[in-house]
């Protein structure tokens, strides 16, 4: 096994981790700050990808597509929060899970009705469609750009939460909702803002993913599951924890997919190893999660407080 | 829809003794979920076949009762039970996925109902469990992979890497490929079913530098893989040979990203024969897109039924005569030559079909060569049927 191979798999893990972070950042804010379980986060990702592909088809511009995805899902988040989810704010987690799971089914059908059963077309922006040489390997430029974009979002979010007045209110609202309300802050407006921000982040992730992935109904569901793993490991509500956990989950996943089939092949019959390898690799991250939660129930990277 | 179906059922019940009764045909396919696009293409192709024959098959007016199996075997079993017992259809057409075919094959054919499979062709129903009441207008699942194995052998590539999903169809694909490509494979990579990100697998391909990659990744998996293979700068550098990965249903999502890939199959919209010219023109006019092989084989099913029903005067009740008429396959297949083997699966040609840019700069399928001529499947000897 060559060093280049290891480097490329490390980069793959890093890139996928940043991508997971874009999803997890929004979800962990909504869950941690609003105490709201939003299983429709994967649907917002999917809708973001669809809006990006649809606006790309009209405009042929990647920037317009990405902007459309962010603004479109942000507005959709506002609509969802205003019409349905705000009413469920005090209803308890079970009702939130049921309602938002229902929303995922609704959106999976809705995109089929609006855009048809076929996957939509979306291509890379010309400037990022090539490959670049890094650390002695050629790597798709677009995937490197995702890493950069994710890091920028992480910095921006950290500044927003820790260095602005809104961020301070968000943190205060998460700690003691009643006290903040007593001080004359409109906590519902604050919640709506957090939800819209989370939705827009999911839409951004969807728009970024649209050129890489098949834009199709249900594409958000598998991503949502990994995102939930990330926010649980990262400590719910912690956007810094989400960043660390996302990178960790993606690296473990990439390492599992790369090395477990190789290890199994040296231990057992090749055909058996071929069958078992992907199955074991796909389980790995959940096994790791179970162990970590047994040892540190608050999550691997949970900060003191938030 | 429901009421008209019920009315047709009652009508059929009243008129079974009449000489010229309408015929109800059940249509079962996966119409929803990620594979729903296949079922839609199948349905569109089949309905076009009936429409171009004036809404009739063999001179009889036809009512088609559509059922969605949702890609779930239990739903499919319920649907065929309803079609057989409540709607009393004498013929069921379609079936998208192999696991669905395995779930319904015995139930349909065992009840004396005819089943025309237009896509799925799992090995058991090709070989030991074949049925006199079953006819396929598609293939045994291995055939496509055998064809590409034969093609890759002809290219002289020595170091070939195969990638397929970690399910039965995936290992079957690699085994079918190896039946006609005898050189040991450089590597076999099995990805998870419905996997979205292939960066890790593509990294492995980059580091092993094979002469060619053979990929069997149906539906959304194929779209994901081909996009990412192209973005990694490998398409056109390491030849990509595929089956059921880039087809009429996924090319609209890939467009020119797939240019340079080699595919194989029994049908391409650019095949030059009179039946196909009429089919493609009709399909484009009605649905505004090019037909996939799934649409083509379902259209063939309509033409096949038309020819057989005409021979028995529209009376499916004459089962031995109808069976014989079906076996004669007296129709012009849009895929070229077509005749039935003793296991009621076709003996047909398989082609190498490349994805190229056409005169308008759009991605199009271009038939390059016939890879296997009059190809029969490998399991016919296991089927006890001898006519």
Name the superfamily (CATH) of residues B143-265+350-375.
Response regulator (3.40.50.2300)
The total of structural domains in chain A comes to 1
User: Is 60 exceeded by the pLDDT of residue B10?
Assistant: no
Contact A100, A86 (CB under 8 A): no
Residue numbers in A near B232 (CB within 8 A) = 131, 138-140
Phi-psi map region of B92: left, alpha, beta (phi>0 left; psi -120 to 50 alpha): beta
pLDDT of amino acid B21: 61
Contact B156, B177 (CB under 8 A): no
Phi, psi of A261 (to 5 degrees): -60, -40
In sequence order, what are the residues at sequence separation of 6 or more whose Cβ sits closer than 8 angstroms to the Cβ of residue A199? A26, A44, A73, A74, A76, A77, A78, A80
Residue numbers in B near A116 (CB within 8 A) = 37
Residue B348, CB-side half-sphere exposure with 13 Å CA sphere: 27
Cross-chain CB nearest to A214 (options B199, B200, B220)? B220
Distance from CA of B191 to the nearest CA of A (A): 6
Q: Give the largest CA-CA distance in chain B.
A: 70
User: Is 60 exceeded by the pLDDT of residue B8?
Assistant: no
User: Is 90 exceeded by the pLDDT of residue A278?
Assistant: no
Q: Binning pLDDT at 50, 70 and 90, where does residue B15 land?
A: very low
pLDDT of amino acid A302: 61
pLDDT of amino acid A32: 80
Indicate the DSSP class of residue A119: P
User: Helix, strand, or coil here: B184?
Assistant: coil
Q: Which of B129, B121, B128, B131 is nearest to B100 (CA)?
A: B121
Residue numbers in B near A219 (CB within 8 A) = 196, 220
Distance from CA of B21 to the nearest CA of A (A): 36
Orientation of helix A239-267 relative to helix A141-163, angle to 10°: 140
Give CB contacts under 8 A, 24+ apart, made by B12-17. Answer: B12/B88, B13/B88, B16/B317
In sequence order, what are the residues at sequence separation of 6 or more whose Cβ sits closer than 8 angstroms to the Cβ of residue A303? A235, A238, A240, A241
pLDDT of amino acid A262: 82
Distance from CA of B125 to the nearest CA of A (A): 24
Indicate the DSSP class of residue B18: S
Higher pLDDT, residue B143 or A118:
B143
Query: Which residue is closest to A57 within chain B, CA to CA?
Result: B253
pLDDT of amino acid B92: 98
Quote the mean pLDDT of chain B.
91
Q: Binning pLDDT at 50, 70 and 90, where does residue A305 land?
A: very low
Contact B368, B352 (CB under 8 A): yes
* Residue A306, domain member (yes or no): no
Summarize pLDDT for A56-112 with one digit per residue, the tens: 999 999 999 999 999 999 999 999 999 998 899 888 899 999 999 999 999 999 999
Residue numbers in B near A119 (CB within 8 A) = 37, 220, 223, 250, 252-253
Q: Binning pLDDT at 50, 70 and 90, where does residue A1 land?
A: low
pLDDT of amino acid B16: 43
Orientation of helix A165-175 relative to helix A141-163, angle to 10°: 70
Quote the mean pLDDT of chain A.
89
Strands annotated E in B175-272: 187-191, 212-215, 240-242, 262-265
Summarize pLDDT for B297-351 with one digit per residue, the tens: 999 999 999 999 999 999 999 999 999 999 999 999 999 999 999 999 999 999 9
Instruction: Give the CA distances from residue B140 to residues B136, B147, B305, B349, in Å, rounded to whole numbers and listed in that order.
Output: 9, 12, 20, 13
User: Is 60 exceeded by the pLDDT of residue B131?
Assistant: yes
Distance from CA of A21 to the nearest CA of B (A): 16
Query: Tokens at residue B265, please?
Result: 């199959």
Q: Binning pLDDT at 50, 70 and 90, where does residue B17 land?
A: very low
Q: Binning pLDDT at 50, 70 and 90, where does residue B362 land?
A: very high
Give the mean pLDDT of B98-105: 94
Contact B228, B201 (CB under 8 A): no
Orientation of helix B319-328 relative to helix B293-311, angle to 10°: 130
Distance CA B236, CA B262 (A): 10
Orientation of helix B199-208 relative to helix A3-34, angle to 10°: 170
**pTM reported for the whole predicted model:** 0.88
User: Is 80 exceeded by the pLDDT of residue A185?
Assistant: yes
Helix, strand, coil share (%) of chain B residues, nearest 5? 40, 20, 35
User: Is 50 exceeded by the pLDDT of residue B1?
Assistant: no
Summarize pLDDT for A101-110 with one digit per residue, the tens: 999 999 999 9
Indicate the DSSP class of residue B185: P
pLDDT of amino acid B13: 45
CB atoms within 10 A of CB A3: 10
Summarize pLDDT for B186-219 with one digit per residue, the tens: 999 998 888 888 988 998 899 889 999 999 998 8
Name the superfamily (CATH) of residues B2-139+272-340.
Response regulator (3.40.50.2300)
Residue A281 belongs to domain with CATH number: 1.10.3470
Q: Binning pLDDT at 50, 70 and 90, where does residue B34 land?
A: confident
Check CB contact under 8 Å for A131 and B228: no
- Give percent above pLDDT 90 in chain B: 82
User: How many beta-carbon contacts under 8 Å exist across A and B?
Assistant: 117
* Residue A300, domain member (yes or no): no
Summarize pLDDT for B160-176 with one digit per residue, the tens: 999 999 888 898 899 99
Check CB contact under 8 Å for A278 and B253: no
Domain chopping of chain B, boundaries: 2-139+272-340, 143-265+350-375
Cross-chain CB nearest to A212 (options B37, B227, B250)? B227
Instruction: State how beta strands B346-357 and B363-375 pair.
Output: antiparallel
pLDDT of amino acid B19: 43
pLDDT of amino acid B104: 97
DSSP string, B275-343: HHHHHHHHHHHHHSSPPPHHHHHHHHHHHHHHHHHHHTTT-TT-HHHHHHHHHHT-S--TTS-EEE-TT
Q: What is the domain range of residue A269? A: 3-295
- Give percent above pLDDT 70 in chain A: 98
User: Helix, strand, or coil here: A64?
Assistant: helix
The reply to whether domains B2-139+272-340 and B143-265+350-375 share a CATH topology is yes
Buried b (16+ CB within 10 A) or exposed e, A41-76: bbbbbbbbbbbbbbbbeeeeebeebbbbbbebbbeb
Indicate the DSSP class of residue A120: B
Residue numbers in A near B199 (CB within 8 A) = 12, 15-16, 143, 254
Distance CA B55, CA B306 (A): 11
- Give percent above pLDDT 70 in chain B: 94
* Residue A97, domain member (yes or no): yes
Check CB contact under 8 Å for A218 and B188: no
ipTM of the complex as predicted: 0.88
Q: Which of B55, B48, B26, B21 is nearest to B296 (CA)?
A: B48
Check CB contact under 8 Å for B204 and A258: yes
């Amino acid at each position: 096994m060559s060093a280049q191979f290891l480097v490329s798999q490390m980069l793959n893990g890093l890139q996928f981790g940043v991508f997971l972070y874009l999803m997890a950042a929004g979800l962990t804010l909504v869950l941690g700050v609003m105490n709201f379980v939003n299983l429709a986060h994967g649907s917002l990702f999917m809708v973001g990808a669809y809006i990006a592909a649809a606006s790309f088809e009209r405009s042929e511009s990647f920037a317009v597509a990405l902007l459309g995805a962010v603004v479109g899902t942000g507005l959709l988040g506002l609509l969802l929060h205003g019409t349905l989810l705000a009413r469920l704010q005090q209803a308890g987690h079970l009702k939130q899970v049921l309602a938002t799971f229902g929303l995922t089914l609704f959106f999976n059908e809705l995109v089929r009705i609006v855009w048809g059963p076929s996957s939509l077309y979306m291509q890379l922006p010309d400037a990022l469609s090539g490959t670049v040489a890094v650390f002695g390997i050629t790597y798709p430029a677009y995937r490197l750009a995702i890493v950069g974009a994710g890091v920028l979002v992480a910095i921006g979010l950290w500044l927003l939460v820790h260095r602005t007045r809104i961020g301070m209110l968000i943190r205060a609202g998460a700690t003691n909702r009643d006290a903040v309300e007593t001080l004359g802050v409109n906590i519902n407006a604050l919640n709506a803002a957090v939800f819209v921000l989370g939705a827009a982040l999911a839409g951004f992730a969807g728009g970024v993913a649209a050129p890489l992935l098949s834009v199709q109904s249900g594409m958000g569901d598998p991503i949502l599951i990994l995102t939930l793993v990330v926010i649980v490991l990262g400590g719910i509500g912690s956007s810094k924890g989400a960043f660390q956990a996302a990178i960790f989950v993606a690296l473990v996943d990439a390492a599992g997919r790369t090395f477990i089939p190789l290890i199994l092949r040296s231990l057992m019959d090749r055909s058996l190893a071929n069958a078992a390898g992907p199955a074991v690799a796909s389980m790995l991250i959940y096994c790791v999660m179970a162990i970590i939660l047994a040892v540190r129930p608050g999550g691997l990277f949970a900060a003191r407080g938030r | 829809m429901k009421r008209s179906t019920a009315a047709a059922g009652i009508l059929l019940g009243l008129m079974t003794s009449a000489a010229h009764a309408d015929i109800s045909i059940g249509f079962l396919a996966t119409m929803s979920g990620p594979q729903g696009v296949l079922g839609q293409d199948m349905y569109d192709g089949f309905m076009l076949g009936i429409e171009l024959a004036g809404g009739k098959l063999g001179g009889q007016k036809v009512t088609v009762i559509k059922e969605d199996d949702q890609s779930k075997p239990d739903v499919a079993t319920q649907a065929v039970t309803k079609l057989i017992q409540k709607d009393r259809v004498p013929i069921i057409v379609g079936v998208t996925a192999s696991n669905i075919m395995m779930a319904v094959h015995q139930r349909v054919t065992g009840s004396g109902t005819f089943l025309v499979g237009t896509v799925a062709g799992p090995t058991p129903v090709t070989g030991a469990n074949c049925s006199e009441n079953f006819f396929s207008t598609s293939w045994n699942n291995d055939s496509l992979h055998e064809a590409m194995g034969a093609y890759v052998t002809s290219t002289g590539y020595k170091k070939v890497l195969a990638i397929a999903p970690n399910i039965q169809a995936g290992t079957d694909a690699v085994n079918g490929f190896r039946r006609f490509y005898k050189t040991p494979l450089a590597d076999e990579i099995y990805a998870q079913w419905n996997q979205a990100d292939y960066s890790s697998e593509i990294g492995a391909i980059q580091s092993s530098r094979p002469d060619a990659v053979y990929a069997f990744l149906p539906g959304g998996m194929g779209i994901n893989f081909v996009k990412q293979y192209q973005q990694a700068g490998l398409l056109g550098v390491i030849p990509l040979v595929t089956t059921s990965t880039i087809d009429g249903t996924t090319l609209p999502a890939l467009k020119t990203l797939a240019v340079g890939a080699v595919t194989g199959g029994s049908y391409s919209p650019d095949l030059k024969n009179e039946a196909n010219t009429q089919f493609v023109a009709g399909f484009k006019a009605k649905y505004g897109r090019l037909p996939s092989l799934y649409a083509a084989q379902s259209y063939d099913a309509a033409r096949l039924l038309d020819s057989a029903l005409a021979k028995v005067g529209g009376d499916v009740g004459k089962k031995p005569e109808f069976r014989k008429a079906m076996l004669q396959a007296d129709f012009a297949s849009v895929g070229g030559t077509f005749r039935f083997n003793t296991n009621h699966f076709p003996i047909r040609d398989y082609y190498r079909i490349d994805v190229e840019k056409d005169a308008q700069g759009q991605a199009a399928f271009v038939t390059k060569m016939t890879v296997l001529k009059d190809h029969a499947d490998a399991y016919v000897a296991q089927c006890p049927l001898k006519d």
